[in-house]
Structure 1
Amino acid sequence: MFTFLLVVQAIIAACLVTVILMQRSEGGGLGMGGSPSGFMSARGAADFLTRSTTVLATVFVLLSIALAVIASVRHAPGSIDTSLVKQATPATSGPVPAGDDPLAGAAQAVGNGAASNGAVPLAN
């Protein structure tokens, strides 16, 4: 259904562009000539093209809204995936013992002037 409505949307867009370009503007537009009387007179053609533009624009906007609603319902997640959520570890209170300090080795390496990972040591 979504693909069908998308194709109809494209056809309506092409028709809308064509009707807009056929209208007479200040510079003449792409309007086609016709008989001076009857339906294709200047006045009759202008009324027809104006009404066609209004109808096509209204259908285009309504179809755009319908496609947006269908797309949002179609791709809405059913549930939230929580499998990648990191388990929270309880916070410890008080100072961290020297043996558990992850930066203790880095401080000693900088103090010795040598970095084991190839990094440039900080200036002393």
Structure 2
Amino acid sequence: MSTVILLIHVMIALAMVGVILLQRSEGGALGIGGGGGAGGGGFMTGRGAGNALTKTTAILAACFFVTSLTLSILATQQRGDTPSILPSGSGGEGGLNPLQIPGTPAPKTSDTPAAPQAPQSQ
């Protein structure tokens, strides 16, 4: 099921890239769908074609959004109840030490002070 949705997702992405590249750019930089004389000539010029490409882009974007959400939901359901690397508590003894490598024992703490101490006079 997820493979089929993933293939549809990729096809929608490729179609969206194609439709976006066909649109006329406002700055005349990369658009091949109109503009000066170097692009596609008279291919899909005029206001009607611009509206059709804009609507097509909006529909493809909505489909891309829906397939993205669907793939995310399917991935969450297929994963099930897997152990998390994050602690379930709010810190303290069960907290996660960011300097500790997972799977190794926690380093032993000593009673030495963490900051340098001034020498004591006798």
Q: CA deviation at 1:62?
A: 0.9
Higher-Rg structure is: 1
How many Å separate the matches in 1 of 2:22 and 2:42?
Answer: 13
- The code of the aligned residue for 2:47 comes to R
Greater helix content: 1
Identical residues among aligned pairs (%): 39
Note the residue ranges of structure 1 that are not aligned, 5 or more in a row.
Answer: 81-124
Q: TM-score, normalised on structure 1?
A: 0.55
Runs of 4+ in 1 over 3 A off after TM superposition: 32-35
How many Å separate the matches in 2 of 1:15 and 1:48?
Answer: 14
Aligned residues: 76
- The code of the aligned residue for 1:60 comes to F
**Among 64, 68, 73, the residue aligned to 1:60:** 64
SS at match of 1:16: helix
Q: Which residue of 1 aligns with 2:37?
A: none
How many Å separate the matches in 2 of 1:71 and 1:4?
Answer: 13
Q: CA deviation at 1:34?
A: 3.9
Q: TM-score, normalised on structure 2?
A: 0.56
Q: CA deviation at 1:44?
A: 1.2
SS at match of 2:81: coil
Q: Which residue of 2 aligns with 1:3?
A: 3
Q: Which residue of 2 aligns with 1:24?
A: 24
Q: Aligned ranges for residues 32-47 of structure 1 at < 5 Å?
A: 32-34=40-42, 40-47=44-51
Note the residue ranges of structure 2 that are not aligned, 5 or more in a row.
Answer: 34-39, 85-122
